[in-house]
Chain A
Amino acid sequence: MSDLSAFMRFAKSYQSGEMIFSEYEPGDSFYLIQSGRVKITKIVGAIEKNIDILQPPEIFGEMAILEGAPRSATAIAMDPVKVLEFNRANFEILMMGNPQIALRLLKLFTKRIYDQKRRFMILKLEDPQAKVADVFLMLDETQGDPGAGQSVGDTRDFKVTVEDVAHWAGISIQDAQTVLGHFSNQRRVEMYQDRIVVKNIMDFQRFVNSRRKKT
Chain B
Amino acid sequence: MSPIQIRPDEALDELTKFQAKLTHGVQNLMDTDDITTGVTPKEIIYQEDKMTLYRFQAPASVVQNTVPILIVYALVNRPYMADLQEDRSTVRGLLDAGMDVYLVDWGYPDRSDRYLTLDDYINGYLDRCVDVIRKRHRLDAINLLGICQGGTFSLCYAATHQDKVANLVTMVTPVDFQTPDNMLSKWVKYLDVDLTVEALGNIPGEMLNWTFLNLKPYRLMGQKYLDMVDVLDNPDQVANFLRMEKWIFDSPDQAGEAYRQFIKDFYQQNKLVEGGLRIGPHEVDLKNVTMPVLNIFAMQDHLVPPDASKALKKLVGTKDYSEISFKGGHIGIYVSGRAQKEVPPTIGKWIDERT
Question: Bound pair: A and B?
Answer: no
